[in-house]
């Protein structure tokens, strides 16, 4: 049983009377009378549900058990409006997507007619359509671009187009993005996300304050096992550590299409006994992994706001990230280590330095934990309320109302 807040502590009366439609390509899972999705996203939508009377989610829905890295939505005012699951990188998948555009538009338009406000999440196929449809049906619109806002090599053209549309005057609402980027229009707002409560951050701070005396370097990866995450580079770097006689244990947490390839690579390099592929884990078990680790590695090709790094920093881990997206900003000022995204030699060198002299990185751990402690779920909720009230020009007399926080048991 999980305990979750049923009623928000502070929210606007005018917001509270609105119904919000979320348009997203995130896969949802309906099973045993419960609706679930990827943990970080699910907790964020819970926060949106605290602000509105009703939240409908126009998204693909699978009727099967959710993967281990998913969490159920905990707010009772959230429900799904299932949309066709189409898209993909192959030519047949793109043809199928194109053929289904008329029915997708029809279904989204029918959903939009029933709601007072619209939240479009990009990049994604449904988000792309939402960019065009939302301004037609509502004057209270907001978008989130969850990818790397400054772009990256090899980026899909539809992703670039979505970003350009959201930057332009065509989009009349605020757009939240990860990081502060130069020459952005006023409606593009630097923002953050979190899945940790203030209590969770306090628990993480206790873990960060503990001394690490083990001679075994405990390495952690958390994320989807896809090509863009470069987990193969981590495995190759760990092989180099093994060749140099450096003791390590690595946990790779997540699911994805590259799982079998990564397991085969670990066997080929003779280090499969030192790497544990846990599969997807729920959020609490991910945090337990962080409490037991020394280093978190995320050397992706692209990143928006990598929650794994923020959580790792909160736990006082030495975070090693790629030179892409927002990661360099998060790990700046001595808060972490930056390496090229596909350079196993540089990654191995960084890990060897951490293993050789862990005390040298204590100041880095402290700086990281202090920085990450600012980003809580409660802070996200308050920031979203302020953003919407400002950009939607809600009544100045609509003073936020305080409520007593109550709790309900959620299975």
Domain 198-372: assigned CATH number: 3.40.50.2000
Collapsing DSSP to helix, strand or coil, 19 comes out as: strand
Q: What is the rounded distance in angstroms from the CA atom of residue 300 to the CA atom of residue 294?
A: 19
Look up the CATH superfamily of 2-194+376-410.
Answer: Glycogen Phosphorylase B; (3.40.50.2000)
**Whole-structure pTM value:** 0.75
pLDDT in tens, the chain (411 residues): 344 444 444 446 788 889 999 999 999 999 999 999 998 899 999 999 999 999 999 999 999 999 988 999 999 999 999 999 987 767 787 788 889 999 999 999 999 999 999 999 999 999 999 999 999 999 999 999 998 888 877 788 999 999 999 999 999 999 999 888 888 899 999 887 776 788 888 889 888 888 776 789 999 999 999 999 999 999 999 999 999 999 999 999 999 999 999 999 999 999 999 999 999 998 889 999 999 999 999 999 888 778 899 999 999 999 999 998 889 989 999 999 999 989 999 999 999 999 998 888 999 999 999 999 888 888 888 889 889 988 998 865 444 443 333 333 333
Q: Are 204 and 196 in contact (CB under 8 A)?
A: yes
| Residue 41 DSSP class | H
SS3 12: coil
Alpha helices in 168-275 (DSSP H): 198-209, 231-243, 259-268
Q: Could you please report the per-residue DSSP string of 65-88?
A: PPPTTEEE---TTEEEEEE-----
Note the pLDDT of residue 411: 34
User: Alpha-carbon torsion 304, 307, 311, 317, what sign?
Assistant: negative
Which pLDDT score is estimated for 238? 98
Cβ atoms of 112 and 133 closer than 8 Å: yes
The closest alpha carbon to 365, from 315, 320, 323, 322, belongs to 315
CB of 220 closer than 8 Å to CB of 289: yes
**Contacting residues for 270 by C-beta, under 8 A, at least 6 apart:** 239, 242
Strand partners, 297: 320
**Cis peptide bond upstream of 147, omega within 30:** no
| b/e map 342-359, b = 16+ CB within 10 Å | ebbebbbebbbebbeebe
Report the pLDDT value the prediction gives residue 195, as an integer from 0 to 100. 63
What stretch(es) of the chain map to CATH 3.40.50.2000? 2-194+376-410, 198-372
Task: Tell me the helices (H) and strands (E) count for the chain, helix number first.
Answer: 14, 20
Query: What Cα–Cα distance (Å) separates residue 337 from each residue in 4, 167, 356, 366?
Result: 35, 31, 15, 14
């Amino acid at each position: 049983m999980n305990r979750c807040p049923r009623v928000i502590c502070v929210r606007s009366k005018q917001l509270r009377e609105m119904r919000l439609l979320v348009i997203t390509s995130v896969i949802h899972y309906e099973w045993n009378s419960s609706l679930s999705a990827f943990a970080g996203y699910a907790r964020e939508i819970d926060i949106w549900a605290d602000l509105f009377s009703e939240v409908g989610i126009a998204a693909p829905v699978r009727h099967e058990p959710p993967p281990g890295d998913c969490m159920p939505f905990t707010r009772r005012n959230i429900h799904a409006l299932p949309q066709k699951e189409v898209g993909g990188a192959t030519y047949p998948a793109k043809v199928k997507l194109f053929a289904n555009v008329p029915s997708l538009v029809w279904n989204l338009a029918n959903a939009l007619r029933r709601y007072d406000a619209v939240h479009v999440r990009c990049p994604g196929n449904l988000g792309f359509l939402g960019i065009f449809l939302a301004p037609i049906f509502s004057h209270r619109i907001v978008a989130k671009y969850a990818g790397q806002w400054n772009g990256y090599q090899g980026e899909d053209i539809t992703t670039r187009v979505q970003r350009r549309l959201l930057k332009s005057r065509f989009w009349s609402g605020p757009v939240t993005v990860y990081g502060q980027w130069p020459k952005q229009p006023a409606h593009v707002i630097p923002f953050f996300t979190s899945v940790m409560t203030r209590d969770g951050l306090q628990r993480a701070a206790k873990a960060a304050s503990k001394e690490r005396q083990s001679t075994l370097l405990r390495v952690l990866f958390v994320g989807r096992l896809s090509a863009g995450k470069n987990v193969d580079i981590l495995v190759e770097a760990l092989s180099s550590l093994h060749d140099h006689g450096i003791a390590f244990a690595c946990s790779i947490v997540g699911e994805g299409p590259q799982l079998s390839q990564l397991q085969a690579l670990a066997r080929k390099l003779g280090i499969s006994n030192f790497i544990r592929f846990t599969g997807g884990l729920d959020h609490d078990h991910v945090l337990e992994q962080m409490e037991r680790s020394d280093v978190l590695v995320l050397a992706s090709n692209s990143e928006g706001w990598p929650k794994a790094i923020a959580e790792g920093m909160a736990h006082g881990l030495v975070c090693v990230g790629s030179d892409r997206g927002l990661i360099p900003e998060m790990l700046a000022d001595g808060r972490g280590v930056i390496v090229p995204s596909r350079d196993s030699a540089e990654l191995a060198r960084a890990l060897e330095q951490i293993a050789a002299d862990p005390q040298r990185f204590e100041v880095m751990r402290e700086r990281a934990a202090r920085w990450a402690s600012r980003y809580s779920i409660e802070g996200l909720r308050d920031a979203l309320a302020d953003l919407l009230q400002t950009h939607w020009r809600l009544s100045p007399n609509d003073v936020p109302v305080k409520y007593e926080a109550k709790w309900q048991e959620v299975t």
